A and B are shown apart, each in its own frame.
Chain A
Amino acid sequence: MITLNVNGRSRDVDDAPNTPLLYVLRGTLELNGAKFGCGLGQCGACTVVIDGKPVFSCLTPISILQGRKITTLEGLGSEDAPSPLQRAFIEEQAAQCGYCIPGMIMRAHALLTANQSPTDAEIREHMNANLCRCGTHMRILAAINRAAGGMHAAGARAPAKAEEEE
């Protein structure tokens, strides 16, 4: 049994220790956000945030994750109460098929947590690890830019960390 800290909750999982986190999130924990894209760390569809850093969950065995703080898309907000970043994606209509978007949001979340006002160039560079096939890139950039502005405003009222701990 391995204990994982997922979205602030302690979860005991009985998957084999070499199981990549992605399969545990999607299978055992029934979380849909992280997606299988390549299993090779090449596309970012499986991106989650671990201890503040974007990580390919398809390559990360759960054996090394005990005691580490894992945040998935579901940890940011819900359909009824989306986080500012999720809301920005909705407001920019930044999805076509949307399959890559959870990974995009998680990678962007890591960026905005560390750097509340990234430049457009910084956003493009940071997001380079994640692939989108529908060509939604411009809207994804717009959503992240919008959230950066929005998070600024939110930051005046409450530290960004509060959101991270949801």
Chain B
Amino acid sequence: MNAPLFNPSRRDVLAGALVVSFSLRAIPSLAQEQENVSKPPLPGSLKKAPMLDAWIRIDADGSVTVFTGKCEIGQGVKTALIQVAAEELELDPHAIHLVTADTARAANEGFTSGSNSMKDSASAIRNAAAQVREILIGIAAERLGVAADRLRAQSGAIIGPDNRRAAYGDLVAGNVLHVTAQPTSKLKAPDTLKIIGQSLPRIDIPGKVTGGVSYVHDLRLPGMVHARVVRPPSYDARLQSIDTSDAEKMPGVIKVVRDGSFLGILAEREFQAVTAMHALAAAAKWDIATKLPDETNISSIIESLPAEDHVIADKHAESASATRTLQAVYRRPYQMHASIGPSCAVASFDGDALTVWSHAQGMFPLRQAIAEMLRLPEEKVRCIHMEGAGCYGHNGADDAAADAALLASALPGRPVRVQWMREQEHQWEPYGPAMVSRTRASLDAGGNIVDWWYEVRSNTHSTRPPGAGQLIAARHLETPFTPGPPRPGDQPEGAGDRNAVPLYVLSNVRVVHHFVPDMPLRVSALRGLGAYHNIFAIESFMDELAAAAGADAIEFRLRHLKDKRARAVITAAAERFGWSSWQAAKGKGRGFAFACYKNLAAFCAVAVEVNIEHESGHVRLGRAIAAVDSGQAVNPDGIANQIQGGIVQSASWTLYESVHFEPRRILSQDWSTYPILRFGTVPESVDVYVIDAPGEPFLGTGEAAQGPTAAAIANAVANATGVRIRDLPLNSARVKAAIGV
């Protein structure tokens, strides 16, 4: 969406139309440019795509289309984006058609990640919608000869005091929406909101529960063929030789594609492709070179690798003298996204241009990577987002899209659908990195923290495109692409150091991020990045300090916390849980934890109850209660759904999950070798209280529960057993060993 900022013909239209109402213009005169220096920045992603019609299009028939560069990844964002647009445009939400990430149609909003979609895209759309409404009012004022302040927008029309009306579709001739957004908008006042704040049912669910075409997996194009890839047995294995003749003769097989160690097969029907893939895999001879580290010793290995040190907090002040110092080490293993549906993509190459349908999180970066891999100009590649199974970060989606692109370019004229097998998804997706934290803090005689020292060691948390070398297939080509150098991420959002700086008020604090560039296993962004581990560590340690101080876990937190919204979610969760009246019993424990995600997004507090099965060491989850403040709540049930899901998913990571590997291969290849939580082990109940903050900015929610849940469970296990476990996961074997059964 690189439309010119200045268009004389449109300026002419506007100059006439808008004089009545207000000065929304696209005329960057010298004076205005100077003025722009002191102007506030445009809201959200309007900064990246400032033209209003990059976000909202109104056709002559009155139909309204809203464009977002973000993707629906199961978080319900489509519904929330429609709500904010409908609110400011005074439309029925069902009257709005939403277009999501598509390199040919939507603004480049980068990745749908970091719980940023509401902050970036909903802020842009809400402001754009309000500005569009005011433009339409301005034009109608002129047309109806009525002052703008006597007009109102309602149900797709501008209505005057005498009930004369001008339909939106009749007001938009001449590209009047092709103007630059202004930094401030006439947003509706919080007490007048009718759609924002309502739990509008999600627009995608009816199709999903009745068999609609909901996912890229369901896309069927005319003439489409099915493909499978054969991956090496380990990361760097090279294809030495293969006789493809038997596979090529199998029923339905169209062709085998080989380029270096990239191997794929195309067939008319899907199961034919699967069958031929197995034959091809059996015929392939690999040179297995990979030497993976020793899983049982992984945290020492991570600690022994070279690191770049980044001091991200270093503050020292006068304080009371320390009477007691505690220290601890917390560890997290590699953990998987483990999407329920293996990655899938469809690609179609017409001999000149390529179209890719993918469930990856960034269509523009994906386009760049695929164009580089295929040596095509970027404008010859279009990437269109379609939903996949929940990804929770960077899984195999981009790689499957690359596979489809390569295979489609080998079969021009026929769309190619590739889906990974379960074993491929488990083995090849980039995991959430193993991490280690060392922490030390001192208490004064009154039980207050006087100093806090925290060091976290981690790989990168993003190996995403746009570089072609980030794609598995591109690395396996005869002329391979190499991945770019890993990056540590930047504060304040951070990556391995996300949430490594506590929100607590501490007079002496030093936090260091030891960024480890070498990656023994393929890693990238998993929901929450380092926040999951850092909050687990910090909030576990807060409980350890509270216990040392002889203080209640919640009182101890509040004692060190000024932020009102943080205090409010803690108090709400504690009250709803019944913290102060809770009764202890043998084998039963309660735990609490809190974080403000990234120290700038949603505030979330979690309280849980556990029961320890003494014989097995299994941690059984009882009640879980959360309170969350996501700013102005657009769809409270959507927020609750994300937090509930985050609690259950984080409980699974925290109690059960760890990627297993041996020197030559990843051993976690399916659900039996990488077990996750099932219905038999879900909590008794999960209740979420959404605290609305009218008029406040939208705060990201999707990742807010991951860290607090981990620490709340760990604290509850410590409370139930009297033993502190600092290594994740808190599986039965570990708990059993800790309690000495």
Contact = CB atoms under 8 A, between A and B. Distances in A.
Interface of A: 15-16, 19-20, 23, 26-28, 30-33, 35-40, 42-43, 45, 72-74, 76-79, 82, 86, 89-90, 93-102, 105, 123-125, 127-128, 130-139, 141
Interface stretch (B2-10, B490-498, B646-654): B646-654
Contacts of B392: 133
B678 interface: yes
User: Which of A33, A76, A93 has the most chain B CB atoms closer than 10 A to its own CB?
Assistant: A93
Contacts of A100: 340, 389
A99 B340 contact: yes
Interface residues of B, number: 66
Closest 5 CB pairs of A and B: A97-B74, A135-B648, A97-B390, A98-B208, A99-B389
B29 to A, nearest CB: 49
A89 B641 CA distance: 13
A133 B271 contact: no
B201 A36 contact: no
A139 B641 contact: yes
B212 interface: yes
B164 to A, nearest CB: 38
A37 B344 CA distance: 11
Contact of A132 (B73, B220, B340, B388): B340
A19 B252 CA distance: 13
B686 A138 contact: yes
Contacts of B670: 38, 40, 42
Given A36-B217, A99-B388, A136 B645 contact: yes
A27 B267 CA distance: 12
A141 B218 CA distance: 26
A157 to B, nearest CB: 22
A127 B208 CA distance: 19
Interface of A is mostly: loop
B641 A128 contact: no
A33 B678 CA distance: 22
Interface in B624-665: 637, 641-642, 644-652
B210 A27 contact: no
B260 interface: no
A90 to B, nearest CB: 6
Interface of B is mostly: loop
A36 B202 CA distance: 24
24 contacts: A16-B271, A27-B269, A32-B218, A35-B217, A37-B422, A38-B422, A40-B670, A42-B670, A43-B671, A82-B209, A86-B209, A89-B205, A90-B205, A93-B641, A94-B205, A98-B74, A99-B215, A99-B340, A99-B341, A101-B208, A131-B340, A133-B676, A135-B645, A136-B644
Given A35-B341, A86-B210, 16 more contacts: A20-B271, A39-B274, A39-B421, A74-B211, A76-B210, A79-B207, A82-B209, A86-B209, A98-B209, A100-B340, A102-B209, A102-B211, A131-B340, A135-B650, A135-B651, A136-B641
Contacts of B672: 42
Nearest to B75: A96
A96 B641 contact: yes
Contacts of A82: 206, 209-210
Contacts of B306: none
Interface in B333-349: 338-342
A136 B671 CA distance: 18
B656 to A, nearest CB: 12
Nearest to B652: A135
B582 interface: no
A104 to B, nearest CB: 9
A79 B214 CA distance: 12
A96 B390 contact: yes
Given A74-B210, A93-B202, A133 B680 contact: no
A38 B251 CA distance: 23
User: Which of A26, A28, A38, A133 has the most chain B CB atoms closer than 10 A to its own CB?
Assistant: A133
A73 to B, nearest CB: 5
A79 B212 contact: yes
B76 interface: yes
